[in-house]
Amino acid sequence: MFGNIVIGVDGRQGGRDAIALARHLASPDASFTLVYVCGRGPISWWHHQRGEERPYDREASMLATERERAGIQAGIACVPGPSPAAGLHDLAKTIAADLIVVGTSRHTLPGRLLLGDDAGASLHEAPCPIAVAPRAYTRRAFPYPKSAPRPGAESSQRKEPSLSQR
C-alpha cells in the first residue's frame, strides 16, 4: 500500500481510471494529489493571447471537478513541464511521492497493446514506482459511493456486491 500518491489527470477517462486505481493501491491514511501538467511555451502564449490573468484556472477547475466526481480528499496541482512525464516526475520528487498513477490513452485495440506516449514516458527515469491504470478501469472496479470510506479504511465494513448486483 502507498501513502503519498500523485495522480495524472487530464479530464478524460484515463485520468478517472488512474484515480480509481490509486484508491485501490492506497494505504488507509494515504494522501492524494491530482495533477495536470501544463506545457511550457505555446500554452502560456495561448492563455496570454486570450487575456487570462491566471492561465490555469480552467485546469484547476477541471481537477476540482474530477476530485468531487471521485469523492476523494485530494490536493490539486497544475504544474509546468515540457511533457506530462517530466511534470509528474518533478512534482513527485518535490513532495516525496511514493507512487505515480497514470491512465492509458484512447487508442484502438492494436494501440492499446502498447502504452500511450505519456504513460510510456512516465516509466523512464521515474523517482518512484509508476502504476498504469488499464483502459476502462473505473467501469470494472467496484464503484465507491461518495459517502463510503476509502478502501482499506478501518471503519470500512462494506461487502462486495454479488455478481447479480454488478
CATH code of the domain in which 84 resides:
3.40.50.620
Digit-coded pLDDT (tens) for 75-102: 999 988 888 888 999 999 999 999 999 9
Measured between alpha carbons, how far is 61 from 40 in angstroms, rounded to an integer?
A: 19
Report the pLDDT value the prediction gives residue 69, as an integer from 0 to 100. Answer: 94
Measured between alpha carbons, how far is 6 from 52 in angstroms, rounded to an integer?
A: 27
Contact 3, 43 (CB under 8 A): no
Within a domain: 153: no
State the residue for C-alpha cell 505519456. 118
Given a cut of 70, is residue 58 above it in pLDDT? yes
Percent of the residues in the chain that have a pLDDT greater than 90, as a whole number: 43
Digit-coded pLDDT (tens) for 131-165: 989 888 887 765 554 444 555 555 444 444 444 55
Within a domain: 34: yes
Within a domain: 59: yes
* Range(s) of the domain holding residue 93: 2-145
Q: How many domains does the chain have?
A: 1
Measured between alpha carbons, how far is 93 from 127 in angstroms, rounded to an integer?
A: 6
Within a domain: 99: yes
Within a domain: 162: no
Within a domain: 165: no
Within a domain: 67: yes
Report the pLDDT value the prediction gives residue 29, as an integer from 0 to 100. Answer: 95
For residues 145 and 26, which has the higher predicted lDDT (pLDDT)?
26
Within a domain: 151: no
Task: Name the β-bridge partners of 37.
Answer: 79
